[in-house]
Amino acid sequence: MTNADPRKLLVLAFDSPLRAQEAFLAVTRLTGEGHLLVQDAVFIQKREDGKVRVTETLDISPGDAALNGSLWGALIGTIVAGPVGLLAGGALSAGIGALVAKFTDIGVPDGKVEEIGKALEPSTTALALLVSHIDEAALTDELRRFTGATLVQTDLSADMVERLRGALSSRTQ
């Protein structure tokens, strides 16, 4: 049994947020068709003034985790200790849920997102994808639709990088 992580990072930069969203929808469709599995997707937009806006699609926010934790804790607390358990279980579980979410990063690492944001040109949006189980031919064919996008960073094989760069630079007829 190997400990190698099958997930691969693929970061594409686009000249508009809409184009990045179109690419995300295309990748989502590929996932639905069984051509790859998206573990996480993060939009990183660098505005003209240089400020970076990050939109994550997978990581649980501390607020969401606190809400979910408090609901489950209140339910279990009520069953075990009645009305007092409702308050104690809800409060305790909310705090634990928020802490777990704060220190758990299951998708594209936050440090990597920050690094990409700093490297982007102003007025550019990057789509950072953490993917696995990749049908390389299907991904290459789909990316041909996004001529002009730039492959910013990836840990895919050198051969696959060549094919993706070719797809992004080719002109569709």
pLDDT of the residue at 133: 92
Q: Is 73:94 a contact under the CB 8 Å cutoff?
A: yes
Domain 8-59+107-169 adopts which CATH fold? hypothetical protein tt1634 (3.40.1520)
Residue partners of 28: CB distance under 8 A and separation at least 6: 38
Neighbouring C-beta atoms of residue 71, cutoff 10 Å:
15
pTM over 0.75: no
Q: Does residue 145 or residue 92 have the better pLDDT?
A: 145
Q: At what angle do helices 17-32 and 136-143 cross, to 10 degrees?
A: 150
Could you give the residue range(s) of every CATH 3.40.1520 domain in the chain? Answer: 8-59+107-169
C-alpha distances in angstroms, 118 versus 48, 79, 114, 115, 121? 13, 50, 6, 5, 8
pLDDT per residue as tens digits for the range 37-89: 998 999 999 999 999 998 887 644 444 444 445 544 554 555 555 555 545 55
Confidence class of residue 7 from pLDDT cuts 50, 70 and 90? confident
CA 72 to CA 126: how far, in whole Å? Answer: 37
For the chain, the residue count is 173
CA 97 to CA 76: how far, in whole Å? Answer: 15
Tokens representing 155 are 């840990």
Task: State the chain's mean pLDDT as an integer.
Answer: 78
